[in-house]
């Protein structure tokens, strides 16, 4: 489970919070949930990574990583059968990109066979928190691509839009974004925690969603996202919810799946759902002309059904809380359309790197300039991988037939 039970019946989450900057972790130490977390599992440094991948990965991160791995080991040793790790970080900042990559490298060395699923906040097309985001994201992707088994990308702009549009929150804050992302994470792990008709464990996600090791960046979407004051006027049939997940508006990365092909889709239903309805919804979906599956993966769908109803975080009236509903669905889809997110990022990287802007900050922290071009080449290769996967697999067979 995700909690350890202490001798006096208290439940403590098996989660570790790390930041090189002391202030975010101090907020947890003094916040409303301070009694919940084990104080030893809240680790903070003395100075932040200053939005610099090299500081997070080489200089400051290096000093902290042994301490962090030590705590990870302590938590892992208490687990009877450790299944894997969920890692939450951003690609844009210095700690999230640099230290996140360093930590993943160490986890791969120490726990090679365990599955590692990442939830990564990806630089959004128009919303930016730092000038050097493209550098950090490209460097981080390059160093984690070999070590992570599956990376669920979320970009803040897409989630802001969902909050504005569906929950009528004029100016969404991070807590609104987190609540929404938490619903998806909860759905992904619900079958580890509750009973259902079709349970899905961590390893099954990789097996069903990742056709090739490098192509492990599924899109996520969730339905129904609806505010409490609207929910009484809606009926949430399984088929409607399933179709909602495939709307570009409900996806948590800005990209248009109609421009690409789906390689694999996992649909995770929760609440009052029976397998027959799910199968009918999928059949209806496959019949739609806008739904493109790659030719080499005719089945394409993985189902999860869990009887536990979705829980919404209690929110004050008018604060844009999610409605509590009888059923919900999270969709994880590996689609070639996500390549457009990579090409946007690469383009921004190229604009800055062509002038070598800001590069001296990275080199000053002990990084070599060659790492930039190496990382950029790796991402160019990733874009190419997506192109090749999308190309029809029948063309090769036709060539053979001519001889």
Question: CA–CA distance from 120 to each of 86, 299, 386 (Å)?
Answer: 11, 28, 19
- Which 3 state secondary structure label does DSSP give 74? helix
The answer to whether 136 and 91 are in contact (CB under 8 A) is yes
CB 105 within 8 A of CB 62: no
Contact 114, 83 (CB under 8 A): yes
Secondary structure of residue 314 in the 3-state scheme: coil
Contact by Cβ (8 Å): 386, 346: no
Q: What are phi and psi of 302, to 5 degrees?
A: -115, 130
Sheet with 301-306, side-by-side order of all strands: 219-223, 327-335, 262-271, 301-306
Give the DSSP H/E element, type plus range, for residue 283.
helix 275-286
Task: Please give the sequence-ordered ranges of beta strands (E in DSSP) within 145-226, or none if there are none.
Answer: 150-155, 219-223
160-173 burial code (b ≥16 CB/10 A, e <16): bbbbeebbebeebe
Q: Which is catalytic among the residues 157, 204, 240, 371? A: 204
Tell me if residue 204 is catalytic.
Answer: yes
Length of the chain: 403
Q: Which of 185, 190, 192 has its CA nearest to residue 220? A: 185
Q: Please return the burial class of 106, using the count of CB atoms within 10 Å of its CB with bins 0-12, 13-18 and 19+.
A: middle
**217: closest CA among 311, 313, 337, 328?**
337
Q: Apex CA 325: angle with CA 323 and CA 328, to 5°?
A: 110
Residues tagged active-site: 204
């Amino acid at each position: 489970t995700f909690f350890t039970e202490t001798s006096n019946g208290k439940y403590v989450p098996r989660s570790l919070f790390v930041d090189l900057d002391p202030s975010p972790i101090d907020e947890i130490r003094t916040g409303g949930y301070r009694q919940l977390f084990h104080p030893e599992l809240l680790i903070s440094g003395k100075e932040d990574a200053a939005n610099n991948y090299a500081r997070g990965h080489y200089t400051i991160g290096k000093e902290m990583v042994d301490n962090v791995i030590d705590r990870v080991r302590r938590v892992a040793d208490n687990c009877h059968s450790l299944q894997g790790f969920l890692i939450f970080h951003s690609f844009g900042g210095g700690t999230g990109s640099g230290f996140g990559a360093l930590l993943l490298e160490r986890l791969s060395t120490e726990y090679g066979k365990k599955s590692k699923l990442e939830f990564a906040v990806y630089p959004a097309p128009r919303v930016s928190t730092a000038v050097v985001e493209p550098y950090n994201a490209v460097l981080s992707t390059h160093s984690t691509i070999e070590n992570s088994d599956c990376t669920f990308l979320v970009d803040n702009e897409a989630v802001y839009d969902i909050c504005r549009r569906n929950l009528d929150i004029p100016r969404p804050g991070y807590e609104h974004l987190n609540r929404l992302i938490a619903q998806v994470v909860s759905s992904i792990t619900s079958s580890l925690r509750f009973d259902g008709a079709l349970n899905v464990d961590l390893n099954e996600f990789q097996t069903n969603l990742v056709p090739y090791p490098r192509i492990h960046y599924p899109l996520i979407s969730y339905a129904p996202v609806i505010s409490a004051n609207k929910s009484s006027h809606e009926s949430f049939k399984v088929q409607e919810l399933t179709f909602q997940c495939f709307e570009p508006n409900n996806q948590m990365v800005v990209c248009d799946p109609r421009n690409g092909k789906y390689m694999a889709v996992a649909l995770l239903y929760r609440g009052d759902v029976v397998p027959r309805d799910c199968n009918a919804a999928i059949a209806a979906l496959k019949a739609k002309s806008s739904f493109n599956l790659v030719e080499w993966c005719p089945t394409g769908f993985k189902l999860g059904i869990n009887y536990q109803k979705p829980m919404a975080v209690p929110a004050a009236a008018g604060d844009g809380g999610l409605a509590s509903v009888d059923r919900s669905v999270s969709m994880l889809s590996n689609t070639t359309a996500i390549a457009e997110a990579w090409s946007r990022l690469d383009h921004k990287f190229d604009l800055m790197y062509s002038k070598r802007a800001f590069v001296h900050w990275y080199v000053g922290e002990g990084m070599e300039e060659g790492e930039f071009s190496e990382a950029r080449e790796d991402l160019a290769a990733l874009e190419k991988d997506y192109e090749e996967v999308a190309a029809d697999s029948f063309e090769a067979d036709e060539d053979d037939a001519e001889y």
